[in-house]
């Protein structure tokens, strides 16, 4: 967890150090006392400043999936790929989706790369859409 000193927090907020200390004493800015000095967590500083929370630096987890659908005609592939691509572009998720279709073999591959939860949601959508056809 990233933490800031009072001096660093004041610099990031564009405030005087004494003002930041006063906010801490008043309870408006949460801080932890370490020895004789305060430390302010990055999340607390961002919340205080009204900034959107940025992800913790460090580990990032992604998944890659390939969905293969055999025996799918051109019209059905168009409908399915439109719905899949549409569901990805309608949300804030970080996904990269590619659709590859081999018309001669009636073979469709949907390649999904990105964050785990949006990827899992997209797989559930694909599952529901392909089950309709069974």
Work out how many domains the chain is built from and give that number.
Answer: 2
Are 68 and 43 in a shared domain? no
Query: Rounded distance, CA 103 to CA 106, Å?
Result: 5
Are 12 and 35 in a shared domain? yes
CATH of the domain at 109: 3.30.70.1130
Are 68 and 26 in a shared domain? no
Query: Rounded distance, CA 60 to CA 115, Å?
Result: 9
Residue 82 lies in a domain: yes
**55 vs 132, residue with greater confidence:** 132
pLDDT of residue 78: 93
Are 73 and 125 in a shared domain? yes
Answer yes or no: pTM beyond 0.75.
no
Are 67 and 116 in a shared domain? yes
Query: Rounded distance, CA 21 to CA 97, Å?
Result: 48
Are 97 and 128 in a shared domain? yes
Residue 85 lies in a domain: yes
pLDDT of residue 35: 85
DSSP bridge pairs for 97? 112
pLDDT of residue 2: 82
Tens digit of pLDDT for each residue in 107-118?
Answer: 999 999 988 888
- The range of the structural domain enclosing residue 43 comes to 3-49
Tens digit of pLDDT for each residue in 33-44?
Answer: 888 889 999 888
Are 73 and 128 in a shared domain? yes
Q: Which of 124, 130, 99 is nearest to 112 (CA)?
A: 99
Are 13 and 67 in a shared domain? no
Are 66 and 105 in a shared domain? yes
Burial per residue of 86-108, b for 16 or more beta-carbon CB atoms within 10 angstroms, e otherwise: ebbeeeeeebebebebeeeeeeb
Are 26 and 88 in a shared domain? no
Are 38 and 66 in a shared domain? no
Residue 66 lies in a domain: yes
Q: Which of 68, 65, 62 is nearest to 112 (CA)?
A: 65
CATH of the domain at 28: 1.10.1660.10
């Amino acid at each position: 967890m990233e933490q800031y000193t009072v001096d660093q927090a004041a610099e990031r907020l564009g405030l005087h150090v004494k003002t930041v200390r006063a906010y801490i004493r008043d309870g408006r800015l949460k801080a932890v006392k370490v020895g004789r000095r305060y430390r302010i967590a990055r999340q607390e500083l961002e919340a205080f400043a009204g900034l959107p929370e940025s992800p913790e630096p460090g580990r990032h987890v992604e998944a890659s999936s390939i969905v293969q659908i055999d025996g799918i005609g051109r019209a059905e592939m168009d409908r399915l790929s439109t719905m899949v691509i549409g569901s990805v572009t309608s949300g804030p998720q970080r996904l990269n989706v590619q659709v590859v279709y081999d018309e001669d073999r009636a073979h469709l591959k949907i390649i999904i790369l990105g964050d785990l939860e949006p990827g899992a949601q997209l797989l559930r959508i694909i599952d529901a859409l392909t089950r309709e056809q069974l």
